[in-house]
Structure 1
Amino acid sequence: MNFLSLNIQGLGKKAKKEWVKDLCHKNKVNFLTLQETKMEKMDMFCIKKCWGNMAFDYVHSDAVGNSGGILCVWDPNSFYKESVTISDSFVMIRGVWRATGLKYMIIAVYAPHEMKGKYLLWDYLQCEIKRWDGETVVTGDFNEVRHKSERFGTMFYAHEAKVFNTFIADSGLVEVSLGGSKFTWCHKSGSKMSKLDRFHVSKNLLNTSPNINAITLARYLSDHRPILLREISYDYGPIPFKVFHYWFDMNGFNNLVEVAWKEYPGNDSNAIRYFMGKLKFLKSKIREWNVTRRLADNLMQFKLIKDLENLDAAVDRGEGKDEISCIPKSKSGWAVEGDENSKFFHGMLNKKRSLLNVRGVLVDGIWVDNPHEVKNEFFEHFSSRFQHPGTKDATIVNGFFLTGEVDSVMSSSYKGSILVNGVNHGGLNLKRSLTQWGDPLSPFLFILVMESLHLSFQRVVDAGLFQGINIGEGLVNISHMFYADDAVFVGQWCDRNILRSFHVL
């Protein structure tokens, strides 16, 4: 499914039609929603100019004064229309997506500017969405933002945003993450920008279609960017091998791991490489076992289905109604179909994966979604972050106590890896500390590392291996202090304290 939603203002008729036609053709659009301030009278010829051919069905809402009109066009081979509700602020289409047989309600919105009109619109749409038994897609120009960060150069009204967010949550909708530009509307002067256009879908749609994502397209001459909702998956390569806990409860798995670990044929003299080789060998053996296990499970499932069919036939003949027959049937049904929560939990995992996956990255103002290019961008970014910053060692301030600033505690022997959507994109040498100015991850990484460093150093102090400074007649002993993004060690001036500090690091 490819939904294209755009708001056209300030374009000539010919340029507008050619631009829309080109967008539909390039993105293989099978559902188009178009909002325009002053839309000309709709006819088949006019829509054909935008769509590109005569294979379409459509509905529209006429412009009323300065209130915008809405046009929805779709490929009847992809979507079958059952009913339509038309208003000045929206067009609501109910039907069936032919490829999946699922019922869809697609709502194209062109929200009014006045807050009172928005309240009435949110209330009505919420009631209709709750009544609908199927999937929902809501798109268009909402003339509202959800967060302060979605406005630039214009006033943000917290109450209006709260009402909008409440409508989304109470309607059971989820916003599809929008890749590309941060803002979808821009004033011609460039001094004001907002995110007004977006896609919201029902929660279950993300469960059943986890590869749905949205991007912004080129703005051209309009002040709104088109937004495209598409179902597309990119192969980032095989994810790292995972071990599932339930495997350890299966007969033969523990023995398989033990035998594979002992049978490793490698003889590398380097301990790390030898260990990695054993892990790779074990990984291959577990994969072979997993393939065999799945084949056995499929055969068992096929046998259980046959048993269920035989039991149903026996019940129809009036035989096998005793309790002994019902017990294996219930067990067989659970093994074949799973319990009532299986679908729910699988759906939750699919939705979480859909929301957290990296769809692309903005590089010099251009949206890049090719998996190889995306992984390279992440690798180059973190490689530059962790390159060698130069030499900066601990320094002695005076002869009474030592103070050292921990700025670069990593050596070239430390390795790191870049994971994009769970896929390893190679390792890199870590030649720089985690506490770097300008990196938004630094405070969090600093906290994680400093917590471990504090525990390690405190054990040394408690054991009397590092002598700190006593303050207030020995009531307080200071050995190390952490603040902002720095760590300072304070202690008596002696060789032992210096050696202990470096040993802890």
Structure 2
Amino acid sequence: MVLWEEELAGLVNMWEVPWCFSGDFNIVRFLSERSSVPYYTTGMMDFSDFISENGLVDIPLVGGQFTWSNNQENEIWSRIDQFLLSSDWEDHYPAVSQRRLKRLLSDHFRLLLDCGAPCGDNKCFKFENMWLKSEGFVDKVKSWWGSYLFEGLPSFVLANKLKSLKLDLKKWNEEGFGDIGRKKKELLEGIQELDALAELRGLVQEEKLKKADMSKELENTLLCEEIHWRQKSRALWMKERDRNNRFF
């Protein structure tokens, strides 16, 4: 408990960088990860809480189910060795996996973390807080999440559902939400054209309604842009009532 809450959790909160923990944790998360555990223990629940609260990902183990055995007559198998990654690790290494290698003279199997080729386009996935301002976004995410069907250990199911959600979010951002800078430019140009018409001859009712809709959309676009830059600057500590234009 002290290791999870004070040692490792303290390190995670110290720097905002991708994290990878590895080693013999001497504990499992699920009953299926040990052959002789009939019920969940306090240590197992504490370990799961540590992983969840710190946004770590327990990626699936390839090549076998367990990583250790006691080599006794009544043999006990367990998965106490593993790699735990922060969720943004996959942004840099999207093909990451952990594989069990052959066991030599040890009670433990050797593990290999295969990161594959690094992300080379500098366009790694980030969840944008401004997406939450898009009408129907939360319902859309719920619908996507419910449509993903995977079978296996809970960690395997979660990891694959998150990968699928990432792909859907990327596609929706490109095709549905759109580029916030281009949208802002188009709206400003459209409103400017209508203002020019208003000075020349006045606007008919249809044009007035169009301008009102564009002004409303521009207001929301500017709010999204502000949220985007605030997130990018990591000024998450600033409260809505404490916003200071000079800071930006």
With the length of structure 2 as denominator, give the TM-score of the two structures: 0.45
Q: Which has the higher contact order (CA 8 A, sep 6+)?
A: 2
Larger-Rg structure = 1
Structure number with higher helix proportion: 2
Structure number with higher strand proportion: 1
